[in-house]
Amino acid sequence: MALEFTTSCLKDSVDLLRFYKRLGDRAMAQVSDEALFVSIDAESNSIAIIVKHLAGNMRSRWTDFLTSDGEKPDRDRDSEFEAPPKTRAEVLALWESGWQLAFDALAPLTDADLSRTAYIRTEPHSVMQTIHRQLAHYSYHIGQIVFLSKHFAGPNWNALTIPRRKSAEFNAKVASGKASQR
């Protein structure tokens, strides 16, 4: 993502959400179908479970955004950490549907909407707080997806950002305008 100067918190937030989605897309594309469902220990979540949780959160937060509480009464958060989807196609369908809800809810907003009130578990948040809360939550879990994907891809891993021992080369490209910083 090209770094673009902006004074719009909303635009920057949506751009960052798109950046993190792409990181997740690119990380999951590097693992085998089987690896999507592997937990590294009994207390850890597989990539598929993390995606299921993110999709559940996104459905709850972004469905009827600004007109209903962001924690929907039919959400069973605990079940998001059980019974993963069975196939890569199901994992990716959950991933895409969650992100679509988020981007569709954010698309009609303007910076003027950032001071409006949204509720999560009956607690009031400004729209800006809600977006930042979700951005932090999603980037946290996408970091887990990237970590697990890198682990399972092993030596076949292709760096998603600046590869190891390539910072000077990358900085030279940035200075010449041939690389993005984000």
The pTM assigned to this predicted structure is 0.89
pLDDT tens by residue, 66-121: 999 999 999 999 999 999 999 999 999 999 999 999 999 999 999 999 999 999 99
Matching residue, tokens 């549907």: 97
What is the CATH number that goes with domain 9-18+32-176? 1.20.120.450
Backbone angles phi, psi at 117, to 5 degrees: -105, 135
Angle subtended at Cα 50 by Cα 57 and Cα 100, rounded to the nearest 5 degrees: 50
Residue 52 has pLDDT above 60, yes or no: yes
Arithmetic mean of pLDDT over the chain: 92
Residues 13-34, mean pLDDT to the nearest whole number: 97
Among 49, 58, 67, residue whose Cα is nearest residue 17: 58
Domain boundaries, the chain: 9-18+32-176
